Structure 1
Amino acid sequence: MTSSTPSTQRRRTRAAAVTLLAAVAVAGLGATSASAATGVKFDQRTGGATRVETAVESSKALYPNGGSDDVVLVNLSRTVDGLSASYLAGLKSAPILYTDTDAAPPATRDEIKRLGAKRVWLVGGTSVISKDQETAIAGDYTVKRFGGDDRYATAAAVATAGEFAPERVYITSGTSLADAVTVGPQAWANGTPILLTEAGRVPDATKGALDQLGVSYRTVVGGKAVVSDDTYKALGANSRLAGDDRQSTAVAVAEDSVATANFTYAGAALVGGANVNAVDALSASALAGYYGVPILYTWTPDDIGAPTANYLKKHAVDITGPGFIFGGKSAVSDKAAQQATDAAQ
């Protein structure tokens, strides 16, 4: 019996998975890094016609044979209330699925049954996931809710849910969905909570959570337009991951995740960069976190954009796979997938 925390055990499991996958790629494509990179394709699409179906497909990819005792539910249209869900899902080694306010869609209910889940964790207050739905779920599963009066209080409730003190905390804008979900895989994999802030002030719930967590390694995700310098100082932050746009911010997060969060350049997860598509990155966080690969955004459904292309070109020699795509072709087209493949080669 070791004294490892759940997050440490997850890191070891993920590292073994990445090492094995990379070794298989190299064995099949040649011994050198350059020849390994030559065969990389962004062709592992996990997507459906809706965000609900994309989340289900991500769950199936993570647990193809079922066997997850836990599932985390987030409101499909009030996703900002679930921005912190990746941390909770990581604590439970669970997938993230989407529900509606009053009832879960059939695809979500079917996936919970397929997984053989025993416990369902709700992220959001009763205005986001109703009390009636909680009662209905409790008829078949053990249910626990993490929610507050607003998104900041909900994030604080989730962040303070762990049994072990975290080594780091991410703090992101409560209004910038795309910036927040880029750190989802890292939060899932490494037991790193996500707190939310306003641009010009620190909400009381966030202050309280930071005091309770007592963590000194505080990283702001997003530029000064979404988290001002004064707010950065008030948070007691000591690093910022940001770029000129959401693509560049995602690249900054990707570089940091390899440098500090035990992630790898071997693979990447491509997600549509539009607001309507960025929610796919939240449900993608479990699978991407398991493999230790960062999330990158496209510029449009048909164009991966310069920041993403430059990242893939820069690290092409190290990229052996997997090349994930999260979302349907209306979010990330085959053309964009080919651009990513070309850049990675």
Structure 2
Amino acid sequence: MKLKKRLGSLVLSLTMLACSLATANALSYSEIQQIRGTDRYATASGIAGEYGLYDSVILVNADKNKLADGLSASGLAGVINAPILLVHRDSIPNETQLRMEIAKRVYIIGSDNSISSDIENRLRSQGGFSVKRIGGQNRYETSNNVANEILNIKGSVGKVFIANGSKGEADAMSISAVAARDGEPILLTNGTSISETSRSIAESTKNVYAIGGVDSISSRLVSSLGATRVSGTSRYLTNSQVIRTFYRETPFKYILSDGYKLVDALTGGPLAGRNNAPIVLVSERSDKSVLRGATSLVSLGGISQSVLTKCAAETNR
């Protein structure tokens, strides 16, 4: 009888210990690190402030949710160890200039229609920066040219990611952290075809991944590229599949971005890549199960307290 009581006491003690450890590791809303500025430009500046040392920056126009040029910038950011900063077509916000002060080299992504030649010239003449513009006639050509820049710097690519350039912005943001981490290109497609330049780059490696479902990238295109499709039935489930596919060990740190305010995921990609932390797209009703076991969460931009509270709660399940 005494032995049974001792065993019972031991089990109870172990249970209480396990519960106390779980409570000690539990995340709360107040423990989520929030990087949030007064607008997207200030938020991008705050993200760059968390990035660490760098001597290059990448400039992207984000006016009126113009994210097209930035969709393919994450891989380049990983190769040159640079944050992505946001500008207007004809001016540079003070918050962006603040983060440019320690840089020596500037990459401008997009044509003169996105970021004016006047800004480019002023950066050279007044700022003393080494400036390189990578643009094209459209978002697809720009992505090709960004990929070629990655190829020129690295000499080769280990993997390539394919995303829809017009309706696959969320998918491109989901893979941005991986592209930045690994320094690999994101190539844009219209969903049914791809340029010869993109095809040539894709065919230089056996590791080609199509990010998104059949509504974004056709099965015929996926098959012709010998690609592996990574997708779910929604942007959130595609995001979860990306994380489960490209992170062999379960991460403990995750970077949260609003699933429909994707500009924060754009500028957060390089930070996520540098920390080997996935970008997680979230909303009130999104599946947050991928966050289970997380010990650190970073929120980008204006995610509501309600959503962040749910994210914190999911880490404790």
TM over 0.5: yes
Is 1:233 aligned with 2:213? no
Is 1:183 aligned with 2:172? no
Q: Deviations over 1:53-75 (max 9, x none)?
A: 11100001113xxx421001111
Quote the residue 2:245 is aligned against.
Answer: 256
Quote the residue 2:295 is aligned against.
Answer: 320
Q: CA deviation at 1:103?
A: 2.1
Q: CA deviation at 1:106?
A: 2.0
Quote the residue 2:108 is aligned against.
Answer: 122
The answer for unaligned runs of 5 or more in structure 1 is 1-29
The answer for unaligned runs of 5 or more in structure 2 is 1-17
CA, structure 1 residues 55+241, in 2 after alignment: closer, same or farther (shift >3 Å)?
same
Quote the residue 1:282 is aligned against.
Answer: 266
Deviates more, 1:38-47 or 1:79-88: 38-47
Distance of 2:35 and 2:226 partners within structure 1: 38
Q: CA deviation at 1:204?
A: 3.7
TM-score for the superposition, normalised by structure 2: 0.86
Q: What RMSD over aligned residues (CA atoms) do the two structures have, in Å?
A: 2.0
Is 1:160 aligned with 2:148? yes
**Contact between 1:202 and 1:234, CA under 8 Å: does it hold in 2?**
no
Q: Deviations over 1:269-313 (max 9, x none)?
A: 111111xx11110100111111111111122xxx1x2422x222x
**Contact between 1:257 and 1:294, CA under 8 Å: does it hold in 2?**
no
Distance of 1:57 and 1:112 partners within structure 2: 12
Quote the residue 1:267 is aligned against.
Answer: 253
Quote the residue 2:290 is aligned against.
Answer: 311
Q: CA deviation at 1:181?
A: 1.1
Quote the residue 1:56 is aligned against.
Answer: 45
Q: CA deviation at 1:236?
A: 2.8
- Name the larger-Rg structure: 2
Quote the residue 2:5 is aligned against.
Answer: none
Quote the residue 1:337 is aligned against.
Answer: 308
TM-score for the superposition, normalised by structure 1: 0.79
Is 1:84 aligned with 2:72? yes
The residue type equivalent to 1:326 in the other structure is L
> What does 1:97-108 align with in structure 2 at a 5 Å threshold?
97-108=85-96
> What does 1:138-153 align with in structure 2 at a 5 Å threshold?
138-139=124-125, 140-153=128-141
**Contact between 1:188 and 1:285, CA under 8 Å: does it hold in 2?**
yes
Is 1:134 aligned with 2:120? yes
Distance of 2:263 and 2:254 partners within structure 1: 17
